[in-house]
Homo-oligomer: A and B are copies of this chain.
Amino acid sequence: MRISYKKATNTETVTIQQIYDLIKDDLKKVESEFKKNLHSNIFLIRKMGEYILGSGGKRIRPLLVLLSSKLCNYKGESHVPFASIVEFIHTATLLHDDVVDEADMRRGNISANEVWGNGASVLVGDFLYSKSFYLMIEHGDMEILRVISKTTTQMSEGEILQLLKSNDPDTTEDEYLEILKSKTAMLMSAACQIGAILGRVSKEKKEALARFGLNIGMSFQLTDDCLDYTSSNDEFGKTVGNDLKEGKITMPLIHLLRNSTPDEKENVIKMIGSHELDEEKLISVIDMINKYGSVEYTMAKAKRYIDEAKSSLDIFEPSLEKSALLGFSEYVFERRF
């Protein structure tokens, strides 16, 4: 379905389906790139790669590369391989994350490390990382290489900081936001910057898209935090309270710990990281989260990031792609899975 330009720019209410429709041909090409780039004489690489890439990811990072490059009037074909590469990098981090978290589930499926073991997840993650750099270097754009290598370095620092802070009830809001920025928002920002670099737009527009991606990323992770305390079991394979069970201190919990009574705080701290968290205890935490409005607080923060993301696009003239990116911002904030 083709969205009418006028309608889209006037209403800014393009649906997520309309956005995906807008780039569906390119997204198909991105999927073909995955297949091509997973090629290896070693069957396990393709098998694991296809398993995790085919497990219901929303392709948000490729979408950002594709829409940003179109917004910046890029007419070439490199946006497709770069969209694929960014998702490869994301996939590598998922594989390594699951080893670090000792996760047994990912997106409602058994996690790769649970199926093939930690060793395979570490090494196939390394393959995806290395192959990503190999493919980027083939394309030879030094500016994109600089952005991505800086991003992946900072991502690993964010992951390490998160590991050091896991199960730490004294994690501050600022520390937490710093982790989110490094581990999630930077790659979304990089995805948008790729579009700007390919389109050779002004420094101001590049910075605007970098800010857009960064703020989208922050909001994306904060809404994700909320979904963990609000989504029902059958949506997106997530069960309520997973973060709490895994000892992940996320924004709603940070808010709760900051605002609850000493007794309540002590109780919550006891539950953090308890793999045997029963229904009753979980409900007691959710009740407290409701009582103190911790989800509302987090969503209000998420909303501010979205507003910031949207306003950073002011520098761009109205276009179908701009409307799609604005519409995508709404989706990030309003999504239910």
Of A142-150, A208-216, A274-282, the segment with at least 4 beta carbons within 8 Å of chain B is A142-150
Residues of B near A201 (CB, < 8 A) are: none
- Closest chain-B Cβ to A119's Cβ sits at a distance in Å of 4
- Closest chain-B Cβ to A275's Cβ sits at a distance in Å of 16
Interface string of A21-59 (1 = CB under 8 A from B): 000000000000000000011101100000000000000
Answer whether residue A333 sits at the interface, using C-beta atoms and an 8 A cutoff.
Answer: no
Whether A161 contacts B42 in the complex (CB less than 8 A), given A126-B156, A150-B134, comes out as yes
The answer to whether A149 touches B122 (Cβ under 8 A) is: no
- For the complex, give the distance between the alpha carbons of A161 and B124 in Å: 11
Answer whether residue A157 sits at the interface, using C-beta atoms and an 8 A cutoff.
Answer: yes
The answer to whether B96 touches A157 (Cβ under 8 A) is: no
Residues of B near A123 (CB, < 8 A) are: 96, 100, 156, 159-160, 163
Residues of B near A127 (CB, < 8 A) are: 153, 156-157, 160
- For the complex, give the distance between the alpha carbons of A159 and B101 in Å: 22
- For the complex, give the distance between the alpha carbons of A149 and B157 in Å: 21
Interface string of A114-132 (1 = CB under 8 A from B): 0000111011101101110
- For the complex, give the distance between the alpha carbons of A10 and B161 in Å: 56
Residues of B near A129 (CB, < 8 A) are: 126, 129-130
- Closest chain-B Cβ to A101's Cβ sits at a distance in Å of 8
Residues of B near A138 (CB, < 8 A) are: 146
The answer to whether B118 touches A45 (Cβ under 8 A) is: no
The answer to whether B152 touches A130 (Cβ under 8 A) is: yes
Answer whether residue A140 sits at the interface, using C-beta atoms and an 8 A cutoff.
Answer: yes
- Closest chain-B Cβ to A216's Cβ sits at a distance in Å of 22
- For the complex, give the distance between the alpha carbons of A153 and B146 in Å: 19
Interface string of A152-179 (1 = CB under 8 A from B): 1101110111011000000000000000
Q: Which of B133, B140, B161 contacts A152 (CB 8 A)?
A: B133
Residues of B near A146 (CB, < 8 A) are: 134, 137-138
Known: A42-B160, A96-B123, A126-B129. 9 other contacts (CB 8 A): A42-B157, A96-B126, A100-B123, A118-B118, A124-B156, A127-B157, A134-B146, A134-B153, A145-B145
